[in-house]
Every structure is written in C-alpha cells, then in structure tokens.
Amino acid sequence: MSQGNGIQLQMNFDGHSEENRFKEQVYGADFTILFEISAPASDVELSAASAKVAPLAEFIMSKKEFPCGIAFVDSNPDIPSYPVLDFASAVAPENRDSHVVYLSGRGRDQEDIAGFYAQCKLQGFKNVVCVSGRPSVKQKNARVFESVNMLQMNLESDSPLFAGAVVNPFKYEICSAVAQSLKLAKKARAGASFAVTQFGWDAAKLQEISWQMHRNHCNIPLFARQMLLTPAAAVELCSGNYPGIRFSKNFQTAIRAEMQLSTAQFLAAQWKRFQLNVAGARFLGYSGIQIGGIETLATAKTAYQMILESFKALPTYQDWLEALKDYYSQMDIAPYPWRYYLFDNLLRPDVSREDASDSRKTIPEPLSGEMFRYKLAKSLFAKSHLHPAAERRFSKKMIVSCKGCDNCRLPLTQFICPETCPLGFCNGPCGEVDVSGKCFLSDAECIYAKHVRLAVALQDYAFLEETVI
C-alpha cells in the first residue's frame, strides 16, 4: 500500500502503518522542523480550537524543502486545558507519525502513563517526548511522575514508542551543568532516543551538551528548541517568569530596549536572533529544531521563510561563526558571575568534539560534613532499602534529614534522602534549578549539587548517569 509521498507502508492488524516518518527523518539525518502547538484552554470547544489551528497544521505538512511536523505540548499548568492527546487527535487526523506528543508527569501515576502510551499506539501516534512537568502555582507541593521512569516504562513495554526527553543545557553553575548532562545520559540509557533542549540563545551551551553526550557515549539526536518572542513574552522573560531560563543583565537590557521599539522593529530583532539560532543548530550537528511562540499561520510562513533564508545567507560554519561573534561582540549571554562551561574551546572552527579540552575549573570537594554524613549513613543504613522504611527513622532523620517516605532508597541515592527535593526527584535534577544552583521551590541549594560533589570525591557516577530508581 502506498501514499502520495511515495513512502511504502506496511499495515499492522489495527490499520496503522508500521513506518514512522519522524523516526526515519531523524535517523536519516534530515534536518527536521517541529512547530510547537499548545493544548487549548478547556473553556472553548475542542472542535473550535482544532479548527482554528487547522490552516497552520495544513501549512506545516505541506512543506517539502525540509520535513516538518507538530510538537503537541501541554499548556500552562495554571490554566485548565484539554488533554494534549485529545487535541492532537483532533488536529491531526492523518500522518500522525510525523508529529510528536509531549507527555507530562504532572498529576499522573503509573497507570495514567501506561494508559497514555496505549492510547498513542491505538490512535497511531508513534513519537512521544517525556517530561516530568512542574506543579501549578496553587499546588507547589504536588508531586510529579519523573520522566526517567516514564522512559523506562516505555522501553520495557510491548512495541515501545519512539521516545524523546528534554534537557536544559543553559546551566552556568558547575554542579548544575554537570548534573544536567549526566541526567540526560541516564535518560538515554532509560530509553530516550532523542532529546529536545530548553530554549536559549547561548550557542556554546548547545555545542557543550552535544559534545558532552559524545563523551558519555550517548550519541542520541538532539533538537534545539527555539522561542519566537512576542512583546508580551519578552515581558515575562525579563521578569524571570520562564522556568529555568536565565541570562546576563546586558542581554536583558538589550531585550528591554527592543521592547521600546515599534512592533515591526521589535519583531525584526527577534527574527535576526532566530535566524542565527536556527543556522547554528544545523552547523552544530543538531537533527532539527522545535519552534515555540508560533501562534498564527502568517507567523509560521514567515518563520519557515526565515529558516530558508538563514541557510542561504550563512552557507558555511565559518560564515555562521563570524556572524554570531559580530552580533554578540558587545554582549555577554552568560549571567555573571556564573559562567561555567564544561569545555574551554567551544565554538572554535579548528576544534572538534574529539580533541576538545575539558574546563580547567574543577568541581569543588564535598562541603564540610557531607563526606562524614555519607560515611556514617553508609555504615548505619547500607541495607535500609531491604527493610521497612520506618525502621531507624529517628536516626535517619538526624543524619540525612529523612522525610518519612514509605520506601527507603538511601543506599541507592548516595545516602542523600530524595525526599529532601521538594519534587521528590530521585533520578536527577529538574531543569528549573536557579542560575546559582538553588532550588526554584525552596531557595536552598539543589540536592543534586551534593550528589555531584560526592560522585567526584568517590569517583562513582553510576547513580547520576546510569541507575534508574
């Protein structure tokens, strides 16, 4: 059986093709463009919401120069919205293997995740991106289902979906940067076949995570998320309301100055940066981009044209590097005083990932008392995961600040209680750690900074990059 695009399709028993266009494009080294569309608020009819974006979806699927698809994502956690899979089904009645659907762990349990995967397979959606998600403002203490566990569930299921993960490479504090890269390696080992970065403008950080994944022997395809700023989004960004997105004060000053311009001039500035970012993603070896902030058909058409023009205007890596350095010659992106990079010679035309030199800055040793508590806890609780969690709870509370969970995992987590993370994450940090390394919920240092310091001191990284809990 064949379709108009010439791809031969094998049909399985439920009528869905066994082929996967998106997967073939990624592994075939086709630079792929994903347009991000958020699930609409639930106070409008689903049919009306899907009809509104139908022209946009039709345009996306009509492009031939580069393969395109839709990334269906959850909406703001503080806005009641339709389930993302319901919206995706309404918008994309066909060619569902060209799109990706985001699965958030917010408010879900293991049964919900399994049901989501089953519905994806039943409806012909074959590509999913697993994200832990974040609690709403009203439910700051609500727990979320970790993306690492979602990925492993999918990997161990019958007929796994083509699953991706997310990563925030824009970390400038040493322990945060190391923890993020190690968690992405863990996600890859748990079943992530590709990854999408958080959005940001620091091309050196995009190259950094790519090189580090190579060092970690986890060469999965990467997509660079791009965000087209509107004036309203720029206000939110400069106010610090985008989770995990931080940059220098002079870069913020530049954006605020653009906000004082006319709408046309403001958009021109955003398109300029957009073109630099898109061309950079391609030259840095990314498999594609995911574009957020595209809300209208006209904007999507402009974005696609800008992409084509950027590739023509910057035909070589050297051309792009010169344009990038010229654009940022008077502006730093890294937020002072946090300016850590894993490598010393990023964005150098004469340096490849094979001969890149590691940063000369070293990870600090465990803080006073951290190694003592580790050794003491290890001597007392080495087999606590095999016994009732309530056993020796007072001692656990005194030594490792035990929060009283139902399942003790101390021997699996370097004897640092995972419940001391406000989200209860036991497989690595979230992407929203502050630029200084502080938790975005508690204002205390992220517990995974302790994990990194201990891992270096013990020369044992298994928990951070391999062990799934």
Query: In order along the chain (469 residues), what is the average pLDDT of each group of 10 residues?
Result: 38 59 94 96 93 96 94 83 95 96 93 97 98 71 86 96 98 96 97 97 97 91 96 90 86 94 95 97 98 94 97 97 94 91 94 89 91 95 90 91 90 94 94 92 93 96 95
Q: What are the phi and psi torsion angles at 293 (to 5°)? A: 85, 5
The dotted CATH code for 21-327 is 3.20.20.220
User: pTM for this structure?
Assistant: 0.93
CB-count exposure of residue 413 (10 Å: 0-12, 13-18, 19+): buried
Domain ranges of the chain: 21-327, 370-465
Helix (H) or strand (E) run with residue 291 in it:
strand 288-292
Q: So what's the pLDDT on residue 140?
A: 59
Q: So what's the pLDDT on residue 138?
A: 60
Q: Is residue 186 within 8 Å of residue 426, measured between CB atoms?
A: no
Q: So what's the pLDDT on residue 245?
A: 87
Task: Report residue 234 as tokens.
Answer: 């720029």
Task: Report residue 93 as tokens.
Answer: 């009645």
| Tens of pLDDT, residues 334-367 | 998 999 999 999 999 999 998 889 998 899 999 8
Task: Report residue 405 as tokens.
Answer: 């969970």
Q: Which residue from 75, 85, 14 is spatially nearest to 42, judged by alpha carbons?
A: 75
The full length of the chain comes to 469
Q: How far apart are the first and last CA of the chain?
A: 44
The conformation of residue 260, written as its DSSP 8-state character, comes to T
Q: Which residue from 445, 372, 381 is spatially nearest to 413, judged by alpha carbons?
A: 381
Coil, strand or helix at 239: coil
Q: Which residue from 165, 313, 221, 191 is spatially nearest to 32, judged by alpha carbons?
A: 221
Q: Which residue from 220, 206, 196 is spatially nearest to 292, judged by alpha carbons?
A: 196
Q: Is residue 459 within 8 Å of residue 363, measured between CB atoms?
A: no
Query: Cβ–Cβ contacts within 10 Å for residue 398, how many?
Result: 10
Q: Where are the beta strands (DSSP E) in 108-261?
A: 127-131, 162-167, 194-197, 222-227
Taking the mean position of all CA atoms in its chain, how far away is CA 158?
25
Task: Report residue 114 as tokens.
Answer: 């399994």
Q: So what's the pLDDT on residue 6?
A: 39
